A = this chain, B = another copy of it.
Amino acid sequence: MTGRQRSTDEQRDRVAIVGASMTEFGQRDGEWIMDLLAEAGIECLEDAGVNATAVDHLYVSNMTSGEFEGMTGVMNALVHDLGAMPAYTQRVDQTSSSGGAGIYAAWQSITSGASDMTLLVGGEKMTHKTTGESTDIIASIGHPVEYKHGVTLPSFAGLTARHYLEQFDVPRESLAKVAVKNHKNGVDNPNAQFQKEVDLETVLESPIIADPLRLYDFCPVTDGSAALLFCPESVAREYTDEYAVIAGVDGATDTHVVHERDDPTVMQGVVESGKGAYEMSGYGPDDIDVAELHDMFTILEFLQMEGLGIAEQGEAWKLVEDGYTERDGELPINTSGGLKSKGHPLGASGVAQGVEIYEQLVGEAGPRQVDADVGLCCNVGGFGNCVITTIMEAAQ
């Protein structure tokens, strides 16, 4: 193992991201969690031109390999598949925000001096189960009192959306416009599960799932994987001239019992993790040029915009109506297509958010490219039970 000289000043420097990759998201029949993790891991190392033997720490963001595939120890299997032995490895689980938690763990591994080169691979294989089975496994995230009463994440989304629309007198169409925007962005993402536009009518006339939310207000069930490679900024230029830096990162929790929250339209975990990431970075909401938000349900995009100070409470919908969050708007949100059209393989999603922001900052986003020096990702676990916010900036 390298990276053991823990207390030098060089290792106290910032954390750079020098490689990124994601697999195709979608229904990956005949492939399994290990195939997906290995694909993203190998591609990420190739992207950075780094040999697997240089990796000190390997984190795997994954929630459910045991429940979905009867396979545990996936992190050790990935060390094996990549040839990264004797790299330290660990599985990071923070339910739907496991990917963001992996970014935070990677940041800590480099900043503490424990590692000089940390590979993070997030992934999930889900589509071989029925939607009912998937929903049941995902519902086990919640507090048992909610789970036993059948209150799944989609039902919380419906209840919250209803409350939001009524409290702030918001037109139903505004929620649908989030889906329309993110599907439009997904058309230009060759790895997105849905690379097709949808129009407002399609969203508004799709089947009701959890009133007032309809099918197109929800992300799909997805297989996929994504990876990021981290090192101290002081050595980043040994690998690449174009890299991104983690300017701020923080995680926070909200109540595990959702009905205990004072105001269901405020996600306290978003507020607190955002505050931490802003403080650490020195940036505020006005400095963000591009953002990936956790649009598992359309309503969540509004709640995160508001929790992060991008919009006032109850007013995020106006920015969507004004085109502020379109790819050519003031602050493009979910240029990747978001969870909505890109798909949501639980442990991969937070990592894939990081991949999109990284690609935007280093100018590798192809047809999705926007002008950005500072980007933000917000990854939400449960129904806001745990949230990680990460702010990255382009290297100077």
Contacts and interface: CB of A to CB of B under 8 A. Distances in A.
Interface of A: 1, 4, 6-7, 12, 34, 63-64, 66-67, 70-73, 75-77, 79-80, 84-95, 101, 104-105, 107-109, 111-114, 137, 140-144, 147, 250-257, 268-269, 272-273, 275-276, 279-280, 381-382, 385-386
Contact of A111 (B6, B64, B280): B6
B94 A256 contact: no
Contacts of A386: 75-76, 88-89
Nearest to A12: B7
Contact of A86 (B4, B254, B381): B254
Contact of A143 (B80, B147, B382, B385): B80
Nearest to A101: B90
A72 B111 contact: no
A93 B94 contact: no
Number of copies: 2
A253 B86 contact: yes
Contact of A76 (B85, B104, B381): B381
Contacts of A73: 95, 140-143, 256, 381-382, 385
Q: Is the interface of A mostly helix, strand, loop or mixed?
A: mixed
A140 B70 contact: yes
Contacts of A92: 90-93
A31 B45 CA distance: 45
Given A77-B143, A250-B88, A255-B85, A93 B95 contact: no
A331 B89 CA distance: 30
B79 A256 contact: yes
A105 B88 CA distance: 12
A296 to B, nearest CB: 15
B76 A95 contact: yes
A294 to B, nearest CB: 16
A103 to B, nearest CB: 12
A12 B112 CA distance: 9
A86 B279 contact: no
Given A80-B143, A86-B254, A93-B90, A1 B111 contact: no
A269 B86 contact: yes
Q: Which 10 A-B pairs have the closest CB atoms?
A: A80-B256, A88-B251, A111-B112, A73-B141, A91-B93, A112-B112, A86-B252, A108-B112, A76-B385, A108-B108
